[in-house]
Structure 1
Amino acid sequence: MKKLFVLIISALLVFTLSACNKNNSKSNTVSVAELATKENAMLTTTSDKSFVFDFNVDSEYKDVSVWIEKYESGKLVDDKISHITSQIEENGSIIFALPKTNESTKQLTFNIGISSNSSTDSISGFDSNSNGLDKMSSVWGNIQEGNTSIEGETVLASICYSNDKSGMSSLSSDFYKDVDGHMNALKKYDVVYLLKAEFIR
């Protein structure tokens, strides 16, 4: 499965990096990648949920760290699921994917890939305490279209699970703009996974 993930990431990054070079994005920002039909098809075929982001940074930024935090009823229970740090140069992409659920293992697998300057680093991580999530409703979301500043830790995406039968909605756009000021929003879900990134000088 990991080999398949690396192959898909490599194919996706050929497309997204070439698009980055044509894009006049602001420096020191991250944004949702615009994927071609073929790229979307590859991710849909292999993943249950996926997110792709492009970044543009000044030469003073040397690395990016990406990881997943897990919250239960608003409380942080794991602060570094699938943590990866990779060297970067000016622009690149971050890919996050949850493979289609394996009924035999009942644990979530998280795949993260970072590509910049013709090299790709990837990692697969697991949440061994994810029993029961397959019986919950889920919603997901990410930063809005446009450029988001990379100052400090940035929440790129979220996946939220709840047993609430009356319906649920994803985290608001205000959450991504001011995470610290909207952390109480996590309390309305049983489990939340936040995909976070930090660009390092």
Structure 2
Amino acid sequence: MKKLLNITIVTMLAFTLSACGNNVKSNTIVNAELTDREKGILLTTSDHSFVFDFNIDSEYTEASVWFEKYEFGKLVDEQTGQLLTKIMNNGSIIFTITESEAVENQQLFNVGISSDDGTASVKISNIISTKSTDGMSSVWGSINEEMDITNENLVLASIRYSWGEGGMRSLSSEFYKDVEGQINEIENFEVVYLLRSKFMK
């Protein structure tokens, strides 16, 4: 029941936010500016969330969003929970994360894509690590400027986990544009999830 409620809320929020991309330059994606009400809905239904607005030319007809999982900078899980849907004009990508109450170290990810062509969503779960949650710390980050959707290496958001002592520094803006070229930035993190996207003609 809780799973169905979360999917329903993400879908409803996607409809609410789908008109927000009107101020975004053509063929770009950017962090959405949310109202206090929208922030409240997301805080009530998830532990963490990101919302991105996009605006595309008519030549782009599909969008894909998926997760990659890295351990100490090495890719261990590629294209987890991929969502592919038709898109038109402008819209939003919504990404929420909730910690499982039933399984230790399990994260529940909700992703929705909404545009003038409709809304699609997917829900997946993943075990972060077999380690105990004792001493675990996490840091979250996302793009902080308008990004060109023609960049096929584009990363929208990151979730990074470490155990024990150590700094949890932010990732550079260059990392979100070119993961492969900046992979050293995540080599000291035991687990990293990246939310990636691709827009297709």
Identify whether the pair has TM-score above 0.5, normalized to the shorter chain. yes
User: Could you tell me whether the CA contact under 8 Å between 2:65 and 2:196 is conserved in 1?
Assistant: yes
Residue 12 (1) aligns with residue 13 (2): yes
Matched residues in 1 for 2:132 and 2:83: separation? 25
Secondary structure of the structure 1 residue equivalent to 2:59:
coil
Partner of 1:158: 158
Matched residues in 2 for 1:174 and 1:153: separation? 11
Equivalent pairs, count: 197
Please report how far the alpha carbon of residue 200 of structure 1 lies from its aligned counterpart in structure 2 after TM superposition: 0.8
User: Could you tell me whether the CA contact under 8 Å between 1:155 and 1:176 is conserved in 2?
Assistant: yes
Residue 56 (1) aligns with residue 55 (2): yes
Please report how far the alpha carbon of residue 129 of structure 1 lies from its aligned counterpart in structure 2 after TM superposition: 5.4
Matched residues in 2 for 1:174 and 1:154: separation? 10
**Gap regions ≥5 residues in structure 2:** none
User: Could you tell me whether the CA contact under 8 Å between 1:133 and 1:161 is conserved in 2?
Assistant: no
**Gap regions ≥5 residues in structure 1:** none
Where do 4+ consecutive residues of structure 1 move more than 6 Å? none
User: Could you tell me whether the CA contact under 8 Å between 1:82 and 1:125 is conserved in 2?
Assistant: yes
Matched residues in 1 for 2:194 and 2:128: separation? 16
Q: Closer, same or farther in 2 for the Cα pair 1:132/1:42, shift >3 Å?
A: farther
Partner of 1:142: 142
Partner of 1:45: 44
Matched residues in 2 for 1:132 and 1:45: separation? 28
Q: Which deviates more from structure 2 when the two are superposed, residues 177-186 or residues 34-43?
A: 177-186
Secondary structure of the structure 2 residue equivalent to 1:6:
helix
User: Could you tell me whether the CA contact under 8 Å between 1:82 and 1:111 is conserved in 2?
Assistant: no
Identity value in percent: 48
Matched residues in 2 for 1:154 and 1:174: separation? 10
Secondary structure of the structure 2 residue equivalent to 1:141:
strand
